Structure 1
Amino acid sequence: MGGNLSLGTGTVRLSSTEFRSPAVARWLNTAQPEALFVLSAIAQYVGAAIAVVLFDEVAPQTVAWFRVIGAAAALLLVSRGWRHGWTRDQLVAAGVFGIATALMNTFFYLGIDRIDLGKAVAIEFIGPIAVAAAMTRSTRNAMALVFAAAGVVVLGGGEIDGNALGLVFILAASAMWAAYIVVGSQVAQLDRGVAGLGVGLAIGAVVTTPIGAPWSGPVWVSPTLLVLCLLVGVFSNAIGYGIDQFTMRRIPVRRFSLLLALLPVTAVAIGWLALGQTPSGLELLGVALVLVGVATQERERRDRAEATVLTELS
């Protein structure tokens, strides 16, 4: 039997019928948010590492487009909620979320084609930091935000000479990331499992077709490139963002935004292990500051005024 999620004035039901695997749904309901974030981050940046390799043969914006297509297909395949009737407001919310996500992916890939993965993610984190700052209500949470922000500044510091365009792309991705958090928290409450994400990404794929399709020729004639591009979508969006949707149901937007500080840390690790982008001592200091910030923050049970989602498994 599925779990019931109490949310403010309503109830959000997270049941196994929304997802084809009851065991997976139950685990996502009960796992620690920090563990979910690390798993999501690993999936996202394994996908990003594959994407960086693909940039030698496929335009970054095209890889991003196939990423969205692959993720939408995978999510609609494993979810059930998308088959039922949608209200206009639900479709608008899912569509805005999907478009913001698709643009975030596009700008991000254009950025990491020019800037190291760890540094790019750290700069991109300006968006989530802004959301967390806007929703911080206690001294302890403010301290946690300061530590996390300081760590991100350290991670994002250093030289970006000759990469002004890359910086512009990453800042644009940062703005879309902020939208992803704010709108995504609404989509997560649609009572449709990951179907809201799947439908949103399908809409995002259609809208960004003029950006990604014109350079897609090499992918269509190479089964290997096609599979790798779609695999990026499965790792980065279907798994990574799918986990985010479940996490958004369980914790406040403020805490979600701060926990995203774990992503630059993971990006540094993946960049080092998969791409040979060795972190400096200063970057390791940034990682430590982020971890202190995550450890300092209050847990969701203390954030009742922020409409925390509490899980009660039946």
Structure 2
Amino acid sequence: MTSLDPAVGGPASLSPDLSTSLPPTALPPVAPGDAAPAAAAGTPRPRLLPGILSMSASAGGSQLGAAIGTFAYPAIGVPGVVAVRQLVAAAVLLPLARPPFRRFTFAQWWPAVLLAVVFATMNLSLYTAFSRIDLGLAVTLEFLGPLSVALVGSRSVVDLVCAVVAAGGVYVLVLPGPSTDWVGVGLALLAAACWASYILLNRLAGRRLPGLQATATATTLSALGYLPVVVVLAVHGRLVGTPLLCAVTVGLLCSALPYAADLFSLRRVPVQLFGVFMSVNPVVAALVGLVLLGQVLALHAWVGIGLVVAADVVALVVAARRRRTPLAG
């Protein structure tokens, strides 16, 4: 849900290319190939502060939006919140990307269609998880998606340790027992699987469609898929007042704000710093859940979140160094 992580091009070439790993719940700021030039251009150190403030706004806004969305669940349900969120996201991206739909080839259409399915499934599963388990728990489990992509196939001892630490962190975080909401945990893990799929598909779609066209197309198709939900809710007079305001706020805070903030940040901070900084999103989610929703996490949950975040940060840093090493040689 927030805004993050590794590029996909083979296990040995994974690095924090944010353009291919930002969660669809917080729309990706740039398409593959756009982030690297922005970062490579370099910026003076005095400009780091605006970038850091922008990243903070992105992370905080995304988690705040997710929390606000829960207030609309009783009136319009999770599908209603997701539907409005997708429509707002499409309204933000379409004017920016202006994808030429009529000129798309089959090779361009099918990755975008699969991305749309991933977007729709990820948002629905994650937001449903929010309705069943704590925000911090759900977001932390979701982060296993990009982390798994970074680690799968690696033979590095450090990556193996990161995988073990992350697995241990999940166990400590969930601490399975009779009261565990396995449906909520399973939905958050489904969102993680969707995020991993998104990374792979976005890399492919980004090669075939320039700029934000793939993301805009997928978001629009996903919004069209949810359009019947909006129509039904509107016909029954449920999409009004506070529930509608909450759902629109979700769209703005989880799509429009992260898009603008992350694009601004990637022009001012190195991509690696962006990835590491945004890895604290599970912590931000837990804090937002505590303050706004009154979700008090047990000590073991905080320890689990810390372990997963630490594994993610180390994996990002190691992957970035591994990618730079061949170039240096």
Matched, 1:278 2:278: no
- Pairing partner for 1:147 from 157, 165, 168: 165
Partner of 2:321: 302
Q: Distance in 1 between matches of 2:294 and 2:254?
A: 20
Partner of 1:67: 85
CA gap of 1:207–1:295, structure 2 versus 1, over 3 A, is closer
* CA positional deviation for 1:216: 5.0
Unaligned ranges ≥5, structure 2: 1-8, 14-31, 38-42
* CA positional deviation for 1:112: 1.6
* CA positional deviation for 1:119: 1.9
* CA positional deviation for 1:270: 1.6
SS of the aligned residue for 1:279 comes to coil
1:184-223 alignment to 2 at 5 Å? 184-189=202-207, 192-210=210-228, 213-217=231-235, 221-223=239-241
Of 66-75 and 126-135, the range deviating more from structure 2 = 126-135
Q: Is the 8 A contact 1:73 1:198 kept in 2?
A: no
Partner of 1:82: 99
SS of the aligned residue for 2:76 comes to coil
Partner of 1:226: 244
* CA positional deviation for 1:227: 3.4
Of 123-132 and 55-64, the range deviating more from structure 2 = 123-132
Q: Is the 8 A contact 2:34 2:211 kept in 1?
A: no
Of 118-127 and 297-306, the range deviating more from structure 2 = 297-306
CA gap of 1:62–1:306, structure 2 versus 1, over 3 A, is farther
CA gap of 1:238–1:294, structure 2 versus 1, over 3 A, is same
Q: Is the 8 A contact 2:71 2:246 kept in 1?
A: no
* CA positional deviation for 1:200: 1.1
* CA positional deviation for 1:136: 3.0
* CA positional deviation for 1:149: 3.6
CA gap of 1:85–1:109, structure 2 versus 1, over 3 A, is same
CA gap of 1:240–1:221, structure 2 versus 1, over 3 A, is closer
Letter in 2 for 1:233: G
Matched, 1:52 2:70: yes
Q: Is the 8 A contact 1:155 1:282 kept in 2?
A: yes
Q: Distance in 1 between matches of 2:232 and 2:326?
A: 44
SS of the aligned residue for 1:55 comes to helix
* CA positional deviation for 1:277: 0.8
Of 32-41 and 139-148, the range deviating more from structure 2 = 32-41
Q: Is the 8 A contact 2:97 2:216 kept in 1?
A: no
Q: Is the 8 A contact 2:145 2:192 kept in 1?
A: yes
Matched, 1:156 2:182: no
Partner of 2:119: 101
CA gap of 1:44–1:137, structure 2 versus 1, over 3 A, is farther
Q: Distance in 2 between matches of 1:242 and 1:103?
A: 24
Letter in 2 for 1:302: R
What is the percentage of aligned positions where both structures have the same residue? 25
CA RMSD, aligned part only? 4.2
Deviations 1:264-299 (A, max 9, x none): 332212211221112221122123323432443335
Matched, 1:138 2:173: no
Matched, 1:183 2:201: yes
Q: Distance in 1 between matches of 2:260 and 2:163?
A: 25
Aligned residue pairs, count: 284
Deviations 1:147-200 (A, max 9, x none): 334333322335573734434433433332221222123344556433432221
Q: Distance in 2 between matches of 1:183 and 1:42?
A: 27
CA gap of 1:217–1:244, structure 2 versus 1, over 3 A, is farther
Unaligned ranges ≥5, structure 1: 1-6, 17-25, 309-314
SS of the aligned residue for 1:68 comes to helix
SS of the aligned residue for 1:269 comes to helix
Q: TM-score, normalised by structure 2?
A: 0.68
Q: TM-score, normalised by structure 1?
A: 0.71
Q: Is the 8 A contact 2:151 2:159 kept in 1?
A: no
Point out the structure with the larger strand share. Answer: 1
* CA positional deviation for 1:206: 1.5
* CA positional deviation for 1:210: 4.7
